[in-house]
Amino acid sequence: MEMWLDRRDFLRAMGAGAASLAMGKLAFAAGEGAAPFGGAQGKKPNVLFIAIDDLNDWVGCLGGHPDVKTPHLDRLAKRGVLFTQAYCAAPACNPSRAALMTGIRPATSGIYTNPQPWRKSEILKNAVTLPQHFMAAGYHALGSGKIYHGRFPDPPSWHEYWPSKTRCRPGDPMPAKRPVNGIPNARHFDWGPLNVPNEKMGDWQVADWVIKHLGKEHDKPFFLACGFFRPHLPWYVPRKYFDLYPVDKITLPNVKADDLDDVPPIGKRMARPKGDHAKVVKHKQWRKAVQGYLASISFVDDCVGRVIDAFDKGPHRDNTVIVLWSDHGWHLGEKLHWRKFALWEEATHNVLMCVAPGVTKPGGRCESPVGLIDIYPTLIELCGLEPRKELEGASLVPLLKDPAAKRDRPALTTHGRRNHSIRSKRWRYIRYSDGTEELYDHQNDELEWNNLAKDAQYADVKRELARWLPTKDAKNSR
Ligand SMILES: [Ca+2]
Ligand SMILES: [Ca+2]
């Protein structure tokens, strides 16, 4: 299938391949894939790797919500290339992050859900993660906050981690009385303002630690990870962020009450309209929930702003690649669904931006569909590291150089075994494990309201998109 040809072609293009690669990065850096910066000194660029948990496209520069205020994400995006159509490999923390950090998709690894320990997958147990690959190339790998899913940290991925290699982040303050929203058994599905200063928040402290390391000189090039947890639930952030969004002026998502009528049963089960959505409506919490999510986004935006300001004042500004991503999208009532865990646009669309001195130009916007799976090979190419044959993404460097460059492959998202979504520039095609389908035409239906899958005139469109489905669907790893 086409999807894998890219990879094989790439390997073939590497020519003599293994032998010269084995000689190390110098052999590679001297060839076609030479690091774009470093110049005469041959000094490798640093990487500042910023992750944001559960952030959908409600970011100013992506236009996902008219009320949202994200000045810092917007200014970072303007410095390099913003990918306006970036999609996750899986719409849940653990499988999305496992795929991003290993470069291997859920359908290959068998890691599809949050409770699966990803290092126990037969395919991933010896995988060389992105920071491990940088460590092997002489980098110092360090970080703080949520990079892997919280339950499954990966100590071999780091030289240094804060608070520790097995505990990725400090705790957060909580309101005295919970749940704030009055929904019974809400657990972390809750929202409300905190009367605490920013300094008490875990993400603020993660930023402090990262800022400290951005301000000093390092003996080696660094791979510095900064993983922010908000806007993950619960949406408890300092009151001033709630005050940015008066609840009576909140814009609710545009939702069609009968939107699920043309969705196959597996899709309906993913949406669970009688679950969160029914509770939110019954307890009159929709506006307050949207307010809580927006407030949490503006809080994390301030955290990003602090890191970028410190980066600019520090000594690494001209020799550091910045990549910022969120791990998947989020529904707030669209398709009567809440949270991630689905294959529609809201759950699969996420944030991705990259600044690479000497490669990207300010103000770049790339509208081709890309995947978070592409980050690993992109950073390899940007830093002139050895390629890895098992990686299933494709480098975004051609798009970083020219955001309008041609790219054929659509973005693939997988949710549970044999449920896939293919997103091209124009179409979204979903095929569930029982063969049922959805097809949406984003040119005329950006909210994915009209499922065209049963309309015979689109048979060729479906066939063309289906070529990109994985050829293998690995069994669930235990
Ligand atoms: Ca997440
Ligand atoms: Ca519909």
The residue annotated as part of the active site, out of 65, 72, 88, 93, is 93
Looking at residue 42, its pLDDT comes to 66
Distance CA 297, CA 276 (A): 21
For residue 447, pLDDT beyond 80:
yes
For residue 330, pLDDT beyond 80:
yes
Chain-centroid distance, C-alpha 280 = 26
For residue 12, pLDDT beyond 70:
no
Q: What is the pLDDT of residues 332-362, one digit of tens each?
A: 999 999 999 999 999 999 999 999 999 999 9
Beta strands 222-228; 46-52: pairing state? parallel
What is the DSSP secondary-structure string of 393-451? S---HHHHH-TT------EEEE-STT-EEEE-SSEEEEE-TTS-EEEEETTT-TT----
Q: What does the block give as tokens for 266? A: 């597996």
CA 72 to centroid of ligand 2, rounded, Å: 35
Give the chain's length: 478
State the sign of the Cα–Cα–Cα–Cα dihedral 331, 332, 333, 336. positive
Looking at residue 9, its pLDDT comes to 41
What is the DSSP secondary-structure string of 22-74? HT-HHHHHTSTT--SS-GGGTPPPEEEEEEETT--S-SGGGTS-TT---HHHH
For residue 15, pLDDT beyond 70:
no
Whether 354 is a known active-site residue: answer no
The residue annotated as part of the active site, out of 149, 277, 337, 420, is 149
For residue 136, pLDDT beyond 60:
yes
CA 284 to centroid of ligand 2, rounded, Å: 24
Looking at residue 17, its pLDDT comes to 38
The average pLDDT across 358-384 equals 98
CA 452 to centroid of ligand 2, rounded, Å: 9
CA 328 to centroid of ligand 1, rounded, Å: 6
| Residue 288 Cα distances to 82, 156, 291, 293, 341, angstroms | 30, 41, 5, 9, 22
Q: Is 86 in contact with 367 (CB distance < 8 Å)?
A: no
For residue 29, pLDDT beyond 90:
no
Q: What does the block give as tokens for 225? A: 């990870």
Residue with the bigger pLDDT between 19 and 155: it is 155
- Compute the mean pLDDT over every residue in the chain, rounded to the nearest whole number: 93
Q: Is 351 in contact with 325 (CB distance < 8 Å)?
A: yes
Residues of the chain with pLDDT > 90, as a percent, come to: 91
Q: Is 244 in contact with 60 (CB distance < 8 Å)?
A: no
Q: Which residues pair with 420 in a beta bridge?
A: 414, 431
pLDDT band at 39 (very low <50, low <70, confident <90, very high): very low
Whether 149 is a known active-site residue: answer yes
Give per-residue burial for 187-213: e unless 16+ CB within 10 Å, then b.
eebbbbbbebebeebbbbbbbbbbbeb
Chain-centroid distance, C-alpha 317 = 24
